[in-house]
Amino acid sequence: MNLQQLIARFRIEADDLVSKPYLWGDEWLAGWFTEAQEEAALRARLLLDDYTPAVTSIAVQAGVASYVLHPKVYELPVVDFVPATGPVEHLTIVSREWLDRERSGWRDEPADTPRHAIQTDTRLRLVPTPSVAGALRIEAYRLPLKPLANDNDKPEIHEAHHIHLVQWVLHRAFGKPDADGYDAGRSAKAEAEFTRYFGLRPDADLRRSTRHDETQANVAYVL
């Protein structure tokens, strides 16, 4: 489904079919559908990227430990250090607390082949600092790369999920307190249906499930 079709489906579900004017304008709805796709991708981990160079490849300099991640990346199931020469090294993602406990003095270690990585919200710290140049080869869960803005724009997530994005937009539309269509009950019902399908929103530490020092948990969604 493209954005135009999604908006049309929303208007049917919301009984917002009379354009004099509509209760909710197309610009608002486009923003909410963009938000809906981001929520879906985050909750159900729908977009695993191992193919977009801007997301999955980071140049590494000798003597430099910290690198900026692509802004759409939130979780890293796989990080490999590929040196200019020599074998590839698979990096284990851990927390600073784990390194302090298991590898005290790691901050002062001499440059060498990285073995671990620390992921923060926006950066990746290699431990130890790399002694040679190379690249990071990443597999990443991420948010959609582009907003839904034009009529022909399509969500990046699988088409099977598109129709369920309407529930989030119903939630946002009926939950807008200064709009004529405000209906707290319908807003809550739509949010619950969206959550039933895509799952609960994770907490702020989006990195926890791929860290070596944390218990793993599976995330599932229902088609």
Q: Who contacts 145 (Cβ-Cβ below 8 Å, separation ≥6)?
A: 52, 72, 156
Report strand pairing: 116-119 vs 92-93: parallel
The pLDDT score that the predictor gives to residue 210 is 67
In the numeric block, the tokens 């890293």 are attached to 76
H or E element: which one contains 189? helix 184-198
As a whole number of Å, the end-to-end CA separation of the chain is: 16
**Please, are residues 92 and 165 in contact by the beta-carbon 8 Å criterion?**
no
pLDDT digits (tens, 9 = 90+) for 159-216: 999 999 999 999 999 999 877 899 999 999 999 999 999 999 998 877 666 676 764 3
Answering whether pTM is above 0.75, one says yes
Query: Rounded CA gap, 1 and 38, in Å?
Result: 16
Calculate mean pLDDT across residues 16-22.
89
Beta carbons of 99 and 152 less than 8 angstroms apart: no
- Whether 26 has a pLDDT exceeding 80, the answer reads yes
